[in-house]
Chain A
Amino acid sequence: MDKVLRQSWVKPVLFAACLIPLGLLAVRAATGGLGANPIEATNRFLGDWALRFLLIALAVTPLRALSGWNAVARWRRMLGLFAFAYVVLHFSSYVGLDQFFDWNAIGREIVKRRYITLGMLAVLLLIPLAVTSTDSMVRRLGGRRWRALHRLVYLIAPLGVTHHWMMVKKDITEPAIHAFILSMLLGWRVVARLRHNGATSNRKAAACSAPQSSSPLS
C-alpha cells in the first residue's frame, strides 16, 4: 500500500479531491442548490469544510504511525494548507457576504460574541503556520522551533470546534462528532508521547545499568 501511495499521480489526485467541496459549492450556487438563504448556506458550508480539513490534517500523523504508510506524511503540508484555505474562505464569506464589509458591525461582533472571538483567534493563529509552511521557512526556523510553532494547531483545532459548538442553536450532534474525532486525534498524540517517554526512560535506564552490568568484565 505504501508503495502505491508513493506513486507520483497520488498527490495531484488528492489535490484535486480537496477542491471537490469548492466545486460542489460552485455548482450549488449556480443551480440554486443553496436554498432560500444562500449566504448563510455558503458560510456554513465553508466553515464545515474548514473544520473537516483541520481534522484531516491532524489525522495524517496518527494514520502514518498506525498504518505504517510513511507516504502519507508527504501530504501533511498540502492538507494543512487546504485547511487554511477553507478557513480563509469561511472568514471571507463572513466578512464579505454575511456582513458585507460592515467593519463596525464585525468589530462589535468579534468583541461581543465569544464564538466569533474564538473563530477569529483561530484564523489569526493559523496565519503564521501557513506563512512558515515553505521548505525555506522550515530551514530558517530550524526543525525544533518550526515544530514548536506548528504545535499551535493543537490550540487552533479545539478553537474551531468550540466556535462551531457555541453557534449551534440546539442540535449539537455535528459539533459533538467533531469534538469526538478531535479528542481521538489529540488523545492519540498524548498516549504516543507518554509511551515514547516511557520507552526512552526505559532505554536510558538500560543504558545506565549497562556499565554496571558490564563492570565485572572491565
Chain B
Amino acid sequence: MLIRSGAFPRESEVTDKALWLDRRRFLALGAAGALALSGAGAEAALPTVKGPFSTDEPPTPQKDVTTYNNFYELGVEKSDPAQLAPSYFGKPKPWSVTIAGECAKPGTLGYEDLIRPHKLEERIYRLRCVEAWSMVIPWVGIPLAEVLKRFEPNSRAKYVEFTTLQDPERLPGQRRAVIDWPYVEGLRMDEAMHPLTLLAVGLYGEELLPQNGAPIRLVVPWKYGFKSIKSIVRIRFAETPSKTAWMKAAPREYGFYANVNPAVDHPRWSQASERRIGEFLRRKTLPFNGYADQVASLYSGMDLAVNY
C-alpha cells in the first residue's frame, strides 16, 4: 500500500510550509505596506500569534480552500459558494452575534466587541469532511472556551448550540428547502470548552471569505467538517443537545457527535480513507482526525458506533 501516514510529512512538505510562513510573516509585518502596494482591494491581514496544536503537514493551497466549499446557503455545488458570494454575501460585516440561554451575561454583541478582547492565534488544523476528502488549513481564531467564559455559563449549561445567519436575500441557497434552515449545530459543553475548539475569523492570515463562513465560524478539527458551522449569528447555552441541521435532514447518516472515525462507515460510503485535496492517492483516515491524544478521553466509555 502506498498510503502515507499523516503524522510524518516528507522533508519536501516541511520546506513548503516554511515558504508560506515567510509569506505570512511578510503579511503580518508589512500589513500597511502591503495594503499600500496592492490597493484597497487587498484582504485585511490579521495580526496573529502562533497557537498550539498546529500540524507540520503542508497546508492545502489557499485557492483550493477558498473555491472548494460545502456551504449550502450559497449553493449545493462545491464551486457555488465562491461564485455566488461576491454578488450576494460579499460584505458580511457589520455583524452581530446573540448570546442566549443558560448564562449570566446574555446579550447581543457586535463582531468587534466579540473579537477585540482576544489575541488572534494561528492554528494549522486538518479538516476532514464527512464526504471523505480532507484539507490542512491555517486558521486564524480564538479558542472558543475563552469567548464562552465571558458570558458566564451556569451549571445548567450542558450544551452549546450555534446558528447560522438566516437571510435568503444574502444567502440564496436558503430560498430552496434543501435542508431545514437555518443551519444549526451543537457541541457538548466539554467539547466546546476544549482547547482545540476554535472560533475562527480568518485563514491564511487574512479575514475569512464569505465562502469559508465569514465573518465568524466554528472549527472543531476532530469532528467531520459539517460540525464546524459557518457565519454564526447566535450562540445558546442549553441543558439539552440540539437537533442539528444534518440530524434533521438524514438522522441515519449524521449524528450529534460526528467524530471522525475510520471504523464507523457512513451508510453510503467508507470512512476508512480520505482524499487529501491535492494528493492523488487516498490516505488512511485517523481516529478523531489525528487528534485522539487530545480528545479521545472525552468519549471514554461511550460506544462511538452508536453515538456517531
Contacts and interface: CB of A to CB of B under 8 A. Distances in A.
Interface in B46-80: 60, 63-64, 67-68, 72, 76, 78-79
Interface stretch (A36-44, A141-149, A205-213): A36-44
Interface string B254-283: 000000000001001110110101101110
B68 A170 contact: no
A112 B266 CA distance: 11
B67 A35 contact: yes
A113 interface: yes
A75 B59 CA distance: 50
B249 interface: yes
A169 B269 contact: no
B179 interface: yes
A56 to B, nearest CB: 23
- For chain A, the bracket of interface size reads 10 to 19
Nearest to A172: B178
Given A36-B277, A100-B281, A113-B268, A170 B133 contact: no
A2 interface: no
B131 interface: yes
A170 B275 contact: no
A39 B270 contact: no
Contact of B275 (A37, A105, A166, A171): A37
Given A171-B76, A171-B178, A40 B133 contact: yes
A138 interface: no
B250 interface: yes
A169 B270 contact: no
A91 interface: no
Contact of A36 (B78, B249, B281): B78
Contact of A170 (B78, B250, B270, B280): B250
Nearest to B131: A169
B79 A35 contact: yes
Contacts of A3: none
Given A36-B68, A112-B265, A170-B250, A100 B282 contact: yes
Interface string A38-68: 0110000000000000000000000000000
B133 A37 contact: yes
B178 A35 contact: no
Interface in B199-220: none
B270 A105 contact: yes
Given A35-B67, A39-B280, A170 B268 contact: no
A109 B273 CA distance: 13
Contacts of B250: 170
Contacts of A35: 64, 67-68, 78-79
A44 B249 CA distance: 23
A94 interface: no
Contact of B68 (A37, A99, A108, A166): A37
Nearest to B63: A36
A106 to B, nearest CB: 11
Given A40-B133, A109-B270, A170 B72 contact: yes
A37 B280 contact: no
A115 interface: yes
A167 B78 contact: no
A186 to B, nearest CB: 26
Interface string A167-196: 101110000000000000000000000000
Nearest to A100: B281
Contacts of A40: 133, 275
Contacts of B249: 170
Nearest to B253: A169
Contacts of A100: 2, 280-282
Given A100-B2, A166-B268, A170-B179, 8 more contacts: A100-B282, A105-B270, A105-B273, A108-B270, A113-B268, A115-B268, A169-B131, A170-B178
9 contacts: A35-B78, A35-B79, A36-B63, A36-B67, A36-B78, A105-B272, A105-B273, A170-B72, A171-B72
Interface of B: 2, 60, 63-64, 67-68, 72, 76, 78-79, 131, 133, 178-179, 249-250, 265, 268-270, 272-273, 275, 277-278, 280-282
